[in-house]
Amino acid sequence: MSTNFVYLDEFGHIGPYMSRTNLRYNESPVFGLAGIILPETAIRPFATQFLQLKEHLFKAEIAKVGTIGALWEKKGNVIFTTKHIAKYPHFRATGLRLLNNVRNCGGKVFYYGREKISGTTNVNSTGLYTTVLGQTIRQLESFSEARQTNYVMVVDEHSARKQLLITASKTMFGQNPARRLLSPPFEVESYINQNIQAADWVAAIVGRLWAYEIRPRHYADHADFKKYFWDRLHQVSTHSTVLPR
């Protein structure tokens, strides 16, 4: 039986959200996990393609710090900004090429998230994260069951805490166990893992898209994300949703 590798990072923001104009709690009205599902045979080829894309786009920056591309990262939220997407076609092309690479290697984009409670700081961030993680596993279980495949989850080292790994284990072995998940999530250092960096770039795009989808009036400057990425992303995504309140 074949195994898929699922690389996930956070999108949106885990903390309280009051409004976009609030001086402190203004990050995002949504939170979730997003990334890519890769067949095991595509793990190395996709990483190579992503590294080549990154080195082409940021050749000067990588050279300036005196390292190699394989040990350098640029966060998706810094790349995929409203200013960059509006003014610089090569940033739009980069996002589209990334999605094409996922499709061409037989992979899928995946995300699951929720609209957060707004207008209060009385929120349970850990509870939100564990709920999102549990439902993420359920969605991936459904995808894997339909395809008769197993899967392994890989997350950024800073994304998962002890409670989250416990949640994953309970989902694997508790009532209605997630039998297709082979292990609790593996944590990796993002700066040396190309595929988790690719997941971060996808998550950045998903976060912008869904901030606009949930609050189109407040996030009107994110409209270009929907214009350029919504259709293409959903042509390659599976079992993905953000639940509105």
Per domain, the residue ranges of the chain are: 3-243
SS3 of residue 90 by DSSP: helix
Euclidean distance between the first and final Cα of the chain, in Å? 38
Residue 50: per-residue pLDDT: 98
Single pTM value for the model:
0.96
Are residues 213 and 14 in contact, defined by beta-carbon separation less than 8 angstroms? no
Residue 160: per-residue pLDDT: 54
Backbone φ and ψ of 72, nearest 5°? -135, 140
Beta-strand pair 30-39/241-243: unpaired
Residue 162: per-residue pLDDT: 73
Residue 182: per-residue pLDDT: 95
The reply to whether CATH 3.30.420.10 applies to domain 3-243 is yes
Backbone φ and ψ of 148, nearest 5°? 55, 50
- pLDDT means per 10 residues, the chain with 245 residues, are 96 94 94 98 97 95 94 96 92 96 98 95 90 95 97 82 79 91 91 96 98 96 97 98 95
